Chain A
């Protein structure tokens, strides 16, 4: 994570990340248990149920994927304020796979009216297949 990143430090085309991580069974159970104290086994928490539904592995829930996609932006710097994230699920995201999250700054408000930045964000598997893509809008503070 970069410390004290300011709007003036960033240029269009700047890379964000990448971050590599794997979502474990335990991670998903912890996430699901926030909403369900008694977890009902599902495609998200049970490999057997996922297999019965035609999937090779249990999959990461959509809201958790959105959270993970947000994290590539919020982990860029403590100074990032995430204003919006909008993702497209292109493929299911299985548990326990190596994932790479990356972003790139695609637009910067040069008018001086705001300190907003637009970014593309991508989650890829180890074969480089894009599982989730999206865009985010963040704000950074001006330099003091």
Chain B
């Protein structure tokens, strides 16, 4: 099963794509023979428990899940399996969340926090580790493939993964419609909801892939 684990809709201030447009584009990709089963909305610095995409998703046979991309003191982190306990413990709008606390809170309350685009200058996990940041023993996975990577960022992510023995996910980091699915994560097992997603990310049964041509 192929899921894009990193997308932004118009709920994020720097995106120009609606969820409905992403769904249409996934169907366009499918008509072109490409394989994509769904995507995870990872809006910047926010999470809305009440938004429900299940009807939209089921109408088109697409998995649409919700996560978030948070700004931390150690770069951006993708968060999946967000429960009310997690949003009660953390201020998602804070642009300098303690990343270690974020990871610990997610570990405690059934979520998972993964460094996003770790090779990016200024907001990537690798730079912080290079500068002596320690801890994060429970982090086992980082975003390996990011569709918005600049030159050198993918290589830096690969070096980090190799050095630390991390696993890697893939996500497009789409901010416009046609970017969705350019990078994805291939799961061995079917993912139907956020709990499945967290379980499979914790079990390590996945690989990062680019959209097949």
A residues in contact (CB < 8 Å) with B: 12-13, 86, 88, 90, 104, 106-107, 118, 120, 122, 127-130, 133-135
Of B14, B24, B148, B177, which is within 8 A of A120 by CB? Answer: B177
User: Shortest Cβ distance from A131 into chain B, in angstroms?
Assistant: 10
Q: By the criterion CB–CB under 8 Å, are A134 and B176 in contact?
A: yes
Q: Is B56 an interface residue (CB 8 A)?
A: no
Complex formed: what's the CA distance from A84 to B163 in Å?
47
Which of A13, A88, A127 meets B151, CB within 8 Å? A127
Contact with A along B26-49 (1 / 0, CB 8 A): 001000100000000000000000
**In this assembly, does B21 line the interface, its C-beta being within 8 Å of a C-beta of chain A?**
yes
- Which residues of A have CB within 8 Å of B16? 86, 88, 133-135
A residues within 8 A CB of B32? 13
Chain A residue with Cβ nearest B15: A88
The complex places the Cα of A133 from the Cα of B174 at a distance, in Å, of 11
Interface of B (DSSP majority class)? loop
Partner among B14, B15, B21, B150 whose Cβ is within 8 Å of the Cβ of A106? B21
Q: Is the CB of B151 within 8 A of A135?
A: no
Q: Which residue of the partner chain B has the closest CB to A103?
A: B178
Query: Is B166 interfacial (CB 8 A cutoff)?
Result: no
Of A13, A127, A133, most buried by chain B (CB within 10 Å of CB) is: A133
Shortest distance in angstroms between A31's beta carbon and chain B's nearest beta carbon?
A: 24
Q: With CB as the reference atom, state the residue of chain A lying closest to B13.
A: A88
Contact between chains at A122 and B151 (CB < 8 Å): no
Mark out the residues of chain B between 47 and 82 whose CB falls within 8 Å of any chain A CB in the assembled complex: none
Question: What B residues does A106 contact at CB under 8 A?
Answer: 21, 24-25, 28, 177-178
| Residues of chain A within 8 A of B117, CB atoms compared | none
- CB pair B151–A120 under 8 Å, yes or no, is no
A19 to chain B, nearest CB (A): 17
Interface set of B (CB-CB < 8 Å, partner A): 14-17, 21, 24-25, 28, 32, 148, 150-151, 175-179
Q: Which B-chain residue is minimally distant from A108 (CB atoms)?
A: B24
A-B contact pairs, 6 of them (CB 8 A): A106-B178, A120-B177, A120-B178, A127-B150, A128-B151, A135-B16
CA distance A79 to B175 in the complex (A): 28
**Chain B residue with Cβ nearest A136:** B16
What is the CA–CA distance of A122 and B14 in the complex, to the nearest angstrom? 14
Indicate if the CB atoms of B176 and A120 lie closer than 8 Å: yes
Contact of B151 with A133 in the complex, beta carbons under 8 Å: no
User: In the bound complex, how far is the Cα of B17 from the Cα of A120, in angstroms?
Assistant: 9
A129 to B148, CA, bound (A): 8
Contacts of A129 in B (CB 8 A): 150-151
Residues of A within 8 A of B25 (CB): 106
Which residue on A lies nearest to B31, using beta carbons? A13
The smallest C-beta distance from B8 to any residue of chain A, in angstroms, reads 10
Look across to chain A and name the residue whose beta carbon is closest to the beta carbon of B177. A106
Q: How far is the CA of A88 from the CA of B16 in the complex (A)?
A: 8
Cβ A107 vs Cβ B175 within 8 A: no
Least Cβ–Cβ distance between B32 and chain A, in angstroms: 7
Q: Nearest A residue to B17 by beta-carbon distance?
A: A135
Highest count of chain A CB atoms <10 Å: which of B14, B16, B32, B148: B16
Distance between Cα atoms of A122 and B178 in the complex (Å): 10
Q: How far is the CA of A86 from the CA of B13 in the complex (A)?
A: 12
A88 touches B28 (CB 8 A): no
Q: A13, B28: Cβ atoms under 8 Å?
A: yes
